[in-house]
Amino acid sequence: MESQTIKSTVAAVQNGVARADGKLSLTVSDLSFVPYNTQLGLGPYSIPRGEITKVEKCLGKGGGIMPVTRDALRITLDGGKQFEFILANPEDWLALLSA
C-alpha cells in the first residue's frame, strides 16, 4: 500500500556549496526529496520519520556561507546526519515534522 502524501512543495536541498532544486514530500512514514536534476548527486532521499531526532529552522546560504533566506529547515537524524532544505513556510513543515 502506498502512503498518502500529507504535504509537498518545491524545495532546495543544501549541502555546503552544493544545492539542488526538487520536490519535498511528507507521508505518514517518510520524508522524501526528489531532485529535478539527479546528476548533481543530491538525492533522491527517503528519510524514515522514525529516524528524525530534531527539526529546526535555519538560514539558507548562498555558496554555502552567505545567509540568503530564513526560510530553511535543518533535519537531524539519529545517526547525526543532517539535511538542510530551503522551502516556503518552514513553520508549517516544522509543526508537521515535530508532531
For 98, counting Cβ atoms within 10 Å of its Cβ (0-12 exposed, 13-18 middle, 19+ buried), the class is exposed
Mean pLDDT over 2-26 rounds to 89
Quick one: pLDDT at residue 1?
43
Output the nine-digit C-alpha cell for 58.
535555519
Supply the pTM of this predicted model: 0.87
Contact predicate 71/86, CB 8 Å: yes
pLDDT band with cut points at 50, 70 and 90 for residue 12? very high
pLDDT of residue 61: 73
pLDDT score, position 15: 82
Amino acid identity for residue 49 in this structure: R
Q: Which residue did the predictor score with more confidence, 62 or 12?
A: 12
Please state the φ and ψ torsions of residue 71, each to the nearest 5 degrees: -90, 70
Return the closest-CA partner of residue 39 out of 20, 62, 23, 12: 20
- pLDDT tens digits, residue range 28-87? 999 999 999 888 788 899 999 999 999 999 978 766 566 677 889 999 999 999 999 999
For 53-57, the CB contacts below 8 A with 24+ separation are 53/77, 53/78, 55/93, 55/94, 55/97, 55/98, 56/94, 57/90, 57/91, 57/94
